[in-house]
Amino acid sequence: MTRGFYVTTPIYYINGNPHIGHAYTTIVADVLARTARTRGDAFFLTGTDEHGQKVADAAKAAGLDPQTWCDRLVPKWKQLFASFHVEYDDFIRTTEPRHERLVQRVFERLRENGDVYRGVYEGWYCSNDETFWLESKLIEGRCPNPECRREVEWLSEESWFFRLSKYNQPLLEHFRTHPNWVRPRSAYNEMMSMLEEGLEDFSISRAAFDWGIPIPGGGGVIYVWFDALLNYITALGWSEDDARFRRYWPATVQLIGKEIARFHTIIWPAILWSLGEKAPDLVFAHGWITLDGQKIGKSLGNAVDPETLVQRFGADAIRYFLLREGHFGSDFSYSEAKIAQRYNDELGNDLGNLVRRTLTMLARYRNGLVPQPGETRFGERFTELPKRVEEAIFNLQFRDALEEIWELVSALNREIDERKPWVLAKAGDEAALDALLYDLCEGIRWLAVMLAPFMPQKAGEIWEQLGLRTGLHGSWEQTLVWGGLGAQTQTAPSETPLFPRLEIAVA
C-alpha cells in the first residue's frame, strides 16, 4: 500500500486566544496539504492541547471549570483557521474520549514493557512551562526558558517515569543516519548536543493537580506533554484502525515551533519506538514571527489579532505574505507596512494587473473569447516550472516556490510591455495578436493552479474570470500542459480588481 502524505501542526495550547504565530504554522500545513492533494492521498491534522496546569489556571481565573473553558475557546481557534481558508482533515482535542482512551492504552503498554516505571521524583519544576529542569540548567535559580524565567519550585513526589535514557544511543544513531530528519540545521545541531550531553529518565505523572488524563489504576494524571504528543497517532486511530494508521504513519512532515523541538525530536521518537512504531520522516522547526525584533506571543503582550489582519488585507494576502517574507525555518519580522508593500507591489501591481490587463484586452479585441493558440513563446520556457515549484514546496522552501512562480508573472507582464498587443491590433497582425493573447491567458491559468495552495480564494477567482469551472485543484502533471486552455473559452472578467490598492500607512 502506498503511504499517504501526512502533515501535522503542533496542537495548540489553549490557555488563551490564538495569535498570528498559530495561524502561520497552520497555513504552512495547509499549503503542504493542498499541494499534496493534487498528487493523491493527503491527511492534515491540527487541534488543541487542553490539559495541564496552565489551562486549569486560565479557566480558574475566568471563573470556569476547565472543560467549559476549553469548549468556549475551541470555536475561536476553528474560526481563525476558517477565516484563513485552512482546510484540515481532522481537528483533534485532547479532551476527546478517542484521544484519552488511547493515551491510557499507550501508558499501559509502556508500563508492561518496562519503559514506564515507578520512582520518586525530586527536582526543580517550572509550573508555567510544566517542565522539570536540572539544577545545572537553572539560571540564577530561575527557569532557563528565555520566554519564562519564572521561579521554579522543588517538587518531591512518587511518580511514574519514562525510561528516556534507554533511547539515548538509538537516538544518536538515528540522528547520525538521518541527518535531514530534523530541520533546519540549527535545530538538528541543538538536539544533537542535547543527545551528546546525555538523557535522563523523566516523570510522566502528576499528583499535584487533576486536570489531565487519569493514570490507569490511579495515582494522578498523565504529564501533559506525554498526553499531547500522542495526538499525532491517536487521531489516526492507532491500535484501533490499523489500516488507517498504516496508511499515514510515519508522518511525512511534522511542523513545530523551534521552542518545542526537544519534545518532538527526542521524547517523541523514543515513545514511538517504545511502542514499536517508527519516527516521523521529518520534523521541521519553523522560526518565530517577530514584531520589532520581539517574538509575538501572548506573554509579551504584543499579540496581533489575526482577524484584524484578515479584515484589512484579506486572508489570501496574509497567507502570501507569511510564506513569501521569510525563509521557512528562520525568524522574520512582520509589520503592517511590510504586508501593505507586498500587497500593493506583488499582488496588486504584478499579479492583479496582469489578470486585469489581459482580460480587458481580450474583451476589447476578441469579445472575451480565448483565441486559437499560435506559435508559443512560453510553452518550452516554462515546462519545468511546475516541477520546480512543487519541489520547493515539498522541500518547505515556500519563499523559493513563490519566487519561481513570480518568474512567470514577470515574464507575462514583460511580454505585454514589450510586444504591445495594442500595436499588433492597430497593425492588423491578427495571428500574432491571437498567439500573444492565448499565451497570456494560458500563463494566467498556470498561475492560478500553482498559486491555489497559497491563495485558494484568489486562485479560484482567477479561475472563474478565465471562464473555467473545474480542474483548479487537479494533478499538476495533467493540468499544467501548455495549451490546455480551450480556444473559444468565454472569459468573465470582474469589475473589481483582485487586490484593490491599499493606502500604505508609513510605519
Site size for Zn ion (CB under 5 A): 7
Site string for Zn ion, 283-322 (x = CB under 5 A): ----------------------------------------
Q: Are strands 289-291 and 253-257 parallel, antiparallel or unpaired?
A: unpaired
Question: 331-361 burial, b if ≥16 CB within 10 A, otherwise e?
Answer: ebebebeebbebbbebbbebbbbbbbbbbeb
Measured from the CB atom, the residue of 148 and 304 that comes closer to Zn ion is 148
Piece of the chain touching Zn ion by CB under 5 A; list 23-31, 120-128, 371-379, 462-470 = 120-128
Residues 35, 94, 128, 159: which binds Zn ion (CB under 5 A)?
128
127 binds Zn ion (CB under 5 A): no
Nearer to Zn ion, 108 or 130 (CB): 130
Amino acid at residue number 305: D
Q: Which is nearer to Zn ion, 123 or 421 (CB)?
A: 123
What's the closest the beta carbon of residue 145 comes to Zn ion, in angstroms?
Answer: 4
CB 208, min distance to Zn ion, A: 16
Does 126 help bind Zn ion (rule: CB under 5 A)?
yes
Q: Is the dihedral of CA 57, 59, 65, 71 positive or negative?
A: negative
Q: What is the DSSP string of 81-144?
A: HHHTT---SEEEETTSHHHHHHHHHHHHHHHHTTSEEEEEEEEEEETTTTEEE-GGG-BTTB--
Q: 129 or 346, CB closer to Zn ion?
A: 129
224 binding Zn ion? (CB under 5 A): no
CB of 153 to Zn ion, least distance (A): 11
Phi, psi of 162 (to 5 degrees): -100, 130
Which residues ranging from 133 to 162 are in contact with Zn ion (CB under 5 A)?
143, 145, 148, 150
Please give the backbone phi and psi of residue 161, each rounded to the nearest 5 degrees, phi first. -115, 150
DSSP H helices, 178-249, are 185-197, 224-229, 231-234, 242-248
CA–CA dist 102, 216 (Å, integer): 11
Q: How far is the CB of 299 from Zn ion (least distance, A)?
A: 10
For 13, the grid coordinates are 495550547
Longest dimension (CA), the chain: 90
Toward Zn ion, which CB reaches closer, 148 or 432?
A: 148
3-state secondary structure of 482: coil
CB of 125 to Zn ion, least distance (A): 9
Query: In the set 49, 100, 129, 336, which binds Zn ion (CB under 5 A)?
Result: 129
Q: Please, what is the minimum distance in Å from the beta carbon of residue 149 to Zn ion? A: 7
Upper half-sphere CA count for residue 14 (Cβ side, 13 Å): 26
Q: Which range in 124-132, 175-183, 401-409, 479-487 contacts Zn ion by CB under 5 A?
A: 124-132
Shortest reach from residue 147's CB to Zn ion, in Å: 8
The residues of the shown chain that bind Zn ion, judged by CB under 5 A, are: 126, 128-129, 143, 145, 148, 150
